[in-house]
Chain A
Amino acid sequence: MDSAFLSIDHVSVRHSNSTAESLCDVSFDVAAGEVIGVLGSSGSGKTTLLRAISGLQSVSTGNVVLDGVDITKTPTHLRGIGLMFQEHALFPHLDVADNVSFGLRMAKMPKPDRSERVAEVLELVGLAGFGSRDIASLSGGERQRVALARTIAPSPLLLLLDEPMGSLDRVLRDRLVSELGNLINRLGLTVVYVTHDRSEAFELADRIAVLDSGQLVQLDTPEILDAQPATAHVAQLLGHR
């Protein structure tokens, strides 16, 4: 595909430590503005895939190409990718505004522009006026929103989400998933969204990639996936009996 915005090309990750999850010759393309859901049980290599794309994990073989540039050897901080962890990983010594503006500060955005952008993004995630709040004082849902705001503030080329709803309860999760869907559509973001939750993947994703033991077993739209699961494992993940 020439129109690919993100191209994962025969990527393998081998750990020296055998217990850690790894990737085995994974290839797929993502178009600009597309939302890819990555589904898999724990240990299937989902998180490793995100770490490889973001550069936190160096790949053993294969290439990662983003917007026409091979970024396989680019250091993480120069890749222009956003990644949001399940645990949110908010900086505990900074307040909400400083967390959100961190990426802008690293990009050397002038201060007035920064505060403007922070206010804008906080508004976007429904946390207008939260700037001076202490991280410790936030609820689980608020933390999730701050983490999202921090990730999208520097306008990353690509948004990687690692089980962003993982630590939230069901009710809150349902609400936030639909909010997140709206936000992604409005901003036209290209997203790789890792989850083990079928409903999240189905609600948000244009296409769903299923990983099993580090291998990509199927990549299709939710409808095709549901109708024709490639393996018994895929069917099981989708909740078929």
Chain B
Amino acid sequence: MVGALPLMDAAFESRGGTHRSSVWRLLAATPPLAFLGVFFVWPVFAILLRGLRPNGVWNLAAFGDVFSDPSMRRVLWFTLWESIASTVLCVIVALPAAAMFARLRFRGKRLLWSALLVPFVLPTVVVAVSMLGVIGGGGLAGVNLNGTVWAILIAHVFFNYAVVVRTVGATWSTIDPRLEESARILGAAPWRVFADITWPLIRSSVAAAASIVFLFSFTSFGIVLILGGLSHRTLEVEIYDQTAKFLHLDIAAVLAIVQLVVVVVILMWFGRSQRRRSVLLEQRSASETERSAETPLQRWLIRSNILFMAVLFGIPLGLLVVRSFSTPNGWGFGFYQALADTRGGSTSFVPPIDAVGNSLLFALMATVVALALGFCAAWAIVGDGSDVSDSRFSRWTDTALMIPLGTSAVTVGFGFLIVFDEPPLNLRSSLWLIPIAHAIVALPFVVRLLVPGLRSIDPRLREAASMLGASPRRVWWTIDVPIVGRALAAAAGFAFAISLGEFGATAFLARPDRPTMPIAIYRALGRPGDYNFGQAMAMSTILMVLTIVVITVIDRFRPAGVSEF
């Protein structure tokens, strides 16, 4: 999640290597690329082979079976229109907020801008549970939307609102308001100003945000699994069911391939649309472009946006916390205490509270892996900044590391399941299997946060240090590490948060006796009764608090001006 926005900064300054530093950079790039090869490319390849060449013979019959099956066609069609509807809805409700953040000054703006990240990084399972509290049976809203497409759309807007607001808002705030003022003076009515001036200038960032929202909605798993009921299923859910419930690996492989093709097409379209945006804006800093709200319309814009956010985010999350304390025996910690015992149901062999420890351990392991590899990769991409050319190497490494962003977590989990279950690499019983999958998901974000951090180091600092007699290793340790420390901290926080909330891949890989928190929540939801739902809410609250703590820490360390995410 968290924005494939990084894909946007396709432009790289030409930098690169004298011969010696090229060798070093190649060496630095090797571990992350090898990791990607073994734990991403290989599993995906295995899926491709499973679908295209079942039983060792090239055979596309499985595709025919899938496409001629009306229920599969329904799944395909639903996935497609659900993601388009989510995207359109999200853009429509988020654009006014983007305008507000870009143009108006108001109290608490900075805080609100940061706080928007919270719903975005919340685990899908937590969001689904909190949605059930509002629009589920017996929910606050009084209508039961559970199992309808509306529940899915609202949850997708919940998640992706920040993507659109922050991506478009950041671009919009760099547009000189005098352009719009000039248009007004030249006789353009307000809606003409938007249509003729503002829209053409923000269009590419809207397209960028929209394609990310589309990808997230297209590959949405936890939300659809929990809120979609039996009738609304996306490809992602279907892949999971075909694998985990029906053991139809061929069909699952075909569906994964279809999904992969769509994702690649979207990413390519996205890349092209970004390269095409050639309009050079004289960028203004945001403080220059914002004005205090003076007209009634502007004040109304602020009020209605904030009200919208309060309803969209405040009510579900607030209700989740409140209801987690509201037991049949009155207010109290009953549901939390119940997490410690095993009587919840026959499927849970361990007390749910163990999942907290498991999640923290896995997140720690995943963070270490992602950070170590991400640092090597970022260093290989940036180089030491002092040398000439060789940008192709940078770009190539960078692109390779971004690929997992566009792939669904279920594909990663499914791939792991069919590859690492047997020699030469049997990790089925290894504690590392889940952390490695999480690291794959987190790696693109880690690299994206570290690269700008490393770029910000003035090469003259390194030169000065080596003039003073520091060996290259010493330079790295005394100059690079402290300076990128902040970026490292932010990246670690992100990796940790992603791992905590990861559901799609984990659903395939978690062993019954070692559930993570999202898995424990999902299991509790699968059992009937208020008691189990209460446990799910209690566990969701714990997971939400953990995620918010991590995000707050990130926000303190985030290097200034690193882009939208």
Contacts and interface: CB of A to CB of B under 8 A. Distances in A.
Interface of A: 15-17, 54-56, 58, 75-83, 85, 87, 89, 91-93, 102-103, 106-107, 136, 150-151, 154
B193 to A, nearest CB: 8
A148 B78 CA distance: 54
A87 B292 contact: no
Interface in B282-303: 282, 292, 294-295
Contact of A91 (B179, B187, B192, B295): B179
B294 A58 contact: yes
A154 B188 CA distance: 12
Contact of A77 (B179, B188, B201, B280): B188
Given A56-B181, A81-B185, A82-B185, A92 B201 contact: yes
Given A16-B292, A58-B294, A76 B279 contact: no
Contacts of B190: 77
B493 to A, nearest CB: 35
Contacts of B197: 91
Contact of A58 (B105, B183, B184, B295): B295
A151 B181 CA distance: 12
B178 A89 contact: yes
Contacts of B105: 17
Interface string B191-202: 010001100110
Interface of B: 105, 176, 178-179, 181-190, 192, 196-197, 200-201, 279-282, 292, 294-295
Contact of A76 (B185, B201, B280): B185
Contacts of B186: 77, 82, 102-103, 106, 150-151, 154
Contacts of B176: 87, 89
Given A87-B178, A92-B279, A92-B282, A77 B294 contact: no
Contacts of B179: 89, 91-92
Nearest to A150: B186
Contacts of A55: 184
Contacts of A83: 181-182, 185
A92 B192 CA distance: 17
B294 A16 contact: yes
Most chain A CB atoms below 10 A, which of B105, B187, B201:
B187
Nearest to A153: B186
A78 to B, nearest CB: 8
B200 A89 contact: no
10 contacts: A17-B292, A55-B184, A58-B295, A76-B181, A82-B186, A89-B182, A92-B201, A102-B196, A106-B183, A106-B192
Contacts of B182: 83, 85, 89, 91, 150
Given A16-B292, A92-B281, A76 B184 contact: yes
- Give the 5 A-B residue pairs with the shortest CB-CB distance, closest first: A106-B187, A103-B186, A89-B178, A76-B184, A89-B182
A16 B106 CA distance: 12
Contacts of B178: 85, 87, 89
A17 B293 CA distance: 10
Contacts of B294: 16, 58
B453 to A, nearest CB: 30
Nearest to B292: A17
B200 A93 contact: yes
Contacts of B292: 15-17
Given A80-B187, A85-B182, 12 more contacts: A76-B185, A77-B192, A82-B185, A85-B178, A85-B181, A91-B197, A92-B201, A92-B280, A93-B200, A102-B186, A106-B187, A106-B188
B185 A56 contact: yes
A107 B179 CA distance: 18
A136 B280 contact: yes
Nearest to B183: A102
Contact of A107 (B187, B196, B200, B201): B187
Nearest to A160: B185
A77 B295 contact: no
A81 B105 CA distance: 28
A54 B185 contact: yes
A58 B186 CA distance: 18
Contacts of A151: 186
Contacts of A92: 179, 201, 279-282
Nearest to A147: B182
Given A91-B179, A92-B201, A77 B185 contact: yes
Nearest to B188: A106
Nearest to A81: B185
Most chain B CB atoms below 10 A, which of A16, A80, A89, A103:
A89
B207 to A, nearest CB: 14
Contact of B187 (A16, A103, A136): A103
A38 B281 CA distance: 30
Contacts of A107: 187
A15 B196 CA distance: 29
Contacts of A91: 179, 182-183, 197
Nearest to A102: B186
Contacts of A54: 185
A221 B453 CA distance: 58
B182 to A, nearest CB: 4
Most chain B CB atoms below 10 A, which of A54, A85, A154:
A85
Contacts of A89: 176, 178-179, 181-182
A54 B185 CA distance: 7
A58 B190 CA distance: 16
A82 B185 CA distance: 6
Given A16-B292, A103-B187, A93 B192 contact: no
Contacts of A150: 182, 186
Nearest to B295: A58
Nearest to A56: B181
Contacts of B295: 58
B157 to A, nearest CB: 29
Contacts of B185: 54, 56, 76-77, 79, 81-83
Contacts of B183: 91, 102, 106
B72 to A, nearest CB: 44
Nearest to B179: A89
